[in-house]
Chains A and B, each alone.
Chain A
Amino acid sequence: MTQISPEAITECLSTVLDREVDTDADIFTAGVDSLAVLRCRALLKERTGIKVPGHVFFEGRTPVRIAELIGAEHAGR
């Protein structure tokens, strides 16, 4: 099963936003927009090979929850 850790997500977000993001912070109130989500997805694909759909970010909202949703998506396949 393929997994992405909350830390992998915060690392990508930090690269994109150029500042730290907590694993339990709501990324959208922290200033993430749809372009930042796309950039983050591109980085995750580059670093892990996993193509994460955008809705996972919009539904999950925090890195911890996004990581859970990615796990669930892949477990269901």
Chain B
Amino acid sequence: MTDTWHEVIHGDRWTSASTLWVEDGTEYTGAQVGQLASTVEQAIRAHGPARVVSIRSAEKLGCFAGQLGAWRAGCVAVADDHTLSERDFGRVRPDLTIEVRSGPSPSVEAAVAPGPRLPRDRIPEEVVAVNFTSGSTGRRKAVAVTRGNLLALFGCRDLDVLGGRNADAAGRGPVTAGSFATVTYDGWWFDTWRTIATGGRVVCLPHVNDDVFAWPDLVDTYGISRLLLPAAVITTVVEAVPDCIADIPWLFSGGEQFRTSTYRRARQAGLRGRFVNLYGPTEATFATHHYRLPEQFSAPTIPIGRPLEGCWQTLRDPAEGPPDARELAVHGPFVCLGYLEDGALVHRFRDAAGQASYRTGDLVRPDENGDLVFAGRLDGEVKVNGMRVDTAALEQRITTLPRVLDCRVAQDERHTVAFVRTDPAALHDPSARDRIESVVQDFSPAIGVRLVGRYPVKAGGKVDFPTLMDRYRLTEKVEET
């Protein structure tokens, strides 16, 4: 164990009387969090040497303090807010489940997994956590996150922002970060760890659907200086309730493409904060690339930018895909160890020389400044009537048209449809529709076009494609009859 890791899990902050965590209207001192972690550590040790522990809690703090306790006990801590499935557990095979309740009367209960324990060395010693991919590019996978990954994340200066309420003023005191991350299926959870490990504190924000109106008070009370939000959530909030994020100096976007139209709208709504676009696969802990948006930004697509400090990239010519796009591979200490399957490490992310490396399957193009621009998935080309169509290129081309805010292409077994979000007046404007249709036809005459005022969004903030396609099929039927 390194000294730095030892400091993270045993440092003074866990006995401090300062507020470290705020959730559901309750403030917790460092000492309270440390005490809860100690209780978890004791509960784990009471059941003999365990390698993998599932930490289950409905509260974020329960998962956080539980992870700390599990790390002190030398375990892989798999955080679970009651959303992991049996299949997910099958991939990591926990020896023990620890149920944690934080809040006014905290409690810790342990349940031992039935059957004989797997050997301790089934997972390399440096692995401390697991992150699950969302499964959007196929089967869901369990990614092994190491101490080295987390320490590299904690030490990455490119992610530093100054404390306080002014993005430009010299830092005063530690950073208070708002937390919107979910405990599972979300590499951004490790950002809560980064905040604490770098001396800051975390304020958990209620979900947009629950109580987004509470955000401004929390921002004001605790002086939140940065917040990471999925791109689709930023879009929603900027469109409906921009005041709720108006006083946050630093907003980080990620998870999906951050759209120029959203940025423009944010500025029109009077948001003065700085925006940073983050990019990175789940297999690289948190993010590998970043792009800080300048005040004046007019390009059609917001770049994913350059590698974060400590990361580096290689661009390779893909066998398939559009001619000028390159496949992005990422390297360095953020790249995780590999995939876990049936409780053991089954695949390592490394290149031919044995260095940590992950081929993202994402296509990129460098812009004139050398910043990378996302250009679709290597496997993202769809076949329409037997013809390959580069959907990312189509979406980007449509988005450059006047009065178009966004474009998403979706496909089911029968239809391929470009859902084009426009300003309200363009919805009923034949000339706008003609312009869009003629561009889509250039790509393929078999692609349908629907102009929409907005996209339906799933609870997590991503565009709800099944609902879009359902609506398309409904209206198709009406038009056919």
0/1 string, A19-47, CB within 8 A of B gives 1:
00000000000000111111101100100
Is the pair B211, A53 in contact by a Cβ cutoff of 8 Å? yes
Q: Using A38-B241, A42-B241 as known contacts, say yes or no to A58 and B209 having CB atoms under 8 A apart.
A: yes
**Cβ proximity bits A48-75 to B, threshold 8 Å, 1 near / 0 not:** 0001011100100000000000000000
- Closest chain-B Cβ to A59's Cβ sits at a distance in Å of 11
Size range of the chain A interface in the assembly: 10 to 19
Q: Across the interface, do B208 and A39 meet the contact criterion of CB distance under 8 Å? A: no
Nearest CB of chain B from residue A77's CB, rounded to whole Å: 14
A35 CA / B238 CA spacing, docked (Å):
11
- Measured in the bound complex, the distance between the Cα atoms of B212 and A54 in whole Å is 9
Let me know if B210 is at the binding interface, CB within 8 A. yes
| Complex CA–CA separation, A55 to B207 (angstroms) | 11
Which single member of A35, A39, A41 contacts B457 (CB below 8 Å)? A35
Residues of B within 8 A of A53 (CB): 209-211
Do A33 and B211 have beta carbons less than 8 Å apart? no
> Is A55 a contact of B210 with CB atoms below 8 Å?
yes
The A-contacting residues of B in range 415-463, CB under 8 angstroms, are: 424, 454-459
**A54 contacts which of B210, B454, B467 (Cβ < 8 Å)?**
B210
| Contact flag A54-B456 (CB < 8 Å), given A38-B240, A39-B240 | no
Asked if B213 is at the interface (CB within 8 A of a chain A CB), the reply is yes
B213 touches A51 (CB 8 A): yes
Q: Which residue of chain A lies nearest to B210 when distances are taken between CB atoms in the complex? A: A53
The distance in angstroms between the C-alpha atoms of A41 and B456, with both chains bound, is: 17
How near does chain B come to A49, taking the closest CB pair, in angstroms?
Answer: 11
CB-nearest residue of chain B relative to A52?
Answer: B213
Query: Which of chain B's residues 202-240 have a Cβ closer than 8 Å to chain A?
Result: 207-214, 236-237, 239-240
Chain B residues with CB under 8 Å of A33's CB are 454-457, 464, 467
A43 vs B10: C-alpha distance when bound (angstroms)? 48
Whether A38 contacts B236 in the complex (CB less than 8 A), given A33-B454, A33-B457, A54-B208, comes out as yes
A47 CA / B359 CA spacing, docked (Å): 52
Q: Are the CB atoms of A51 and B211 closer together than 8 Å?
A: yes
A residues within 8 A CB of B212?
A: 38, 41
Report B-chain residues with C-beta under 8 Å of the C-beta of A42. Answer: 240-241
Complex interface: chain A residues within 8 A of B424 (CB): 18
> Which of A35, A41, A51 is the most central at the interface, judged by chain B CB atoms within 10 Å of its CB?
A35
Complex Cα gap A39–B238 (Å) = 11
Chain B 30-59 interface 0/1 with A at a Cβ cutoff of 8 Å (1 = within):
000000000000000000000000000000
Near A by CB (< 8 A), chain B positions 280-329 give: none
Within 8 A of A (CB), among B353-377: none
* Closest-CB distance, A31 to chain B (whole angstroms): 9
The distance in angstroms between the C-alpha atoms of A60 and B367, with both chains bound, is 49
Bound together, the chains give a CA A45 to CA B212 distance in angstroms of 12
A36 to B424, CA, bound (A): 14
A55: chain B residues within 8 A (beta carbon):
209-210
CB distance from B180 to the nearest CB of A (A): 15
Report the bound CA distance from A34 to B209 in whole Å.
Answer: 8
Distance between Cα atoms of A44 and B49 in the complex (Å) = 55
| B210 near A34: Cβ-Cβ < 8 Å | no
Q: Which of A18, A36, A54 contacts B209 (CB 8 A)?
A: A54
Chain B residues lying within 8 Å of A58, measured Cβ to Cβ, are 209
B224 CB to nearest A CB, Å: 19
Q: Roughly how many angstroms separate A1 CA and B207 CA in the complex, as a whole number?
A: 26
Report how far A41 CA is from B243 CA in the complex, Å.
13
A55–B210 Cα gap in the complex (Å)?
Answer: 6
Q: How far is the CB of A38 from chain B (nearest CB, A)?
A: 4
**Nearest chain-A residue to B424 (Cβ)?**
A18
The residue of chain B having its C-beta at the shortest distance from the C-beta of A32 within the complex is B456
Q: In the complex, which residue of chain A has the Cβ closest to the Cβ of B456? A: A33
Identify the closest chain A residue to B236 (Cβ). Answer: A35
CA distance A51 to B209 in the complex (A): 11
Report yes or no: A35 in contact with B239, Cβ–Cβ below 8 A: yes
Contacts of B210 in A (CB 8 A): 53-55
Which residue in chain B gives the minimum CB-CB distance to A58? B209
B265 to chain A, nearest CB (A): 13
CA distance A37 to B454 in the complex (A): 12
Pairs A-B, 9 closest by C-beta atoms: A54-B209, A38-B240, A33-B456, A51-B213, A39-B240, A42-B241, A34-B457, A35-B454, A35-B236
User: Taking beta carbons and an 8 Å cutoff, which residues of A are in contact with B?
Assistant: 18, 33-39, 41-42, 45, 51, 53-55, 58
A-B contact pairs, 20 of them (CB 8 A): A33-B455, A33-B456, A33-B464, A33-B467, A34-B209, A34-B236, A34-B457, A35-B236, A35-B455, A35-B457, A38-B209, A39-B240, A42-B241, A51-B211, A51-B213, A51-B214, A53-B211, A54-B209, A54-B210, A55-B209
Additional 10 contacts, C-beta under 8 A, given A34-B457, A36-B454, A45-B213: A33-B467, A34-B236, A34-B456, A35-B454, A35-B457, A38-B209, A41-B213, A42-B240, A53-B209, A55-B210
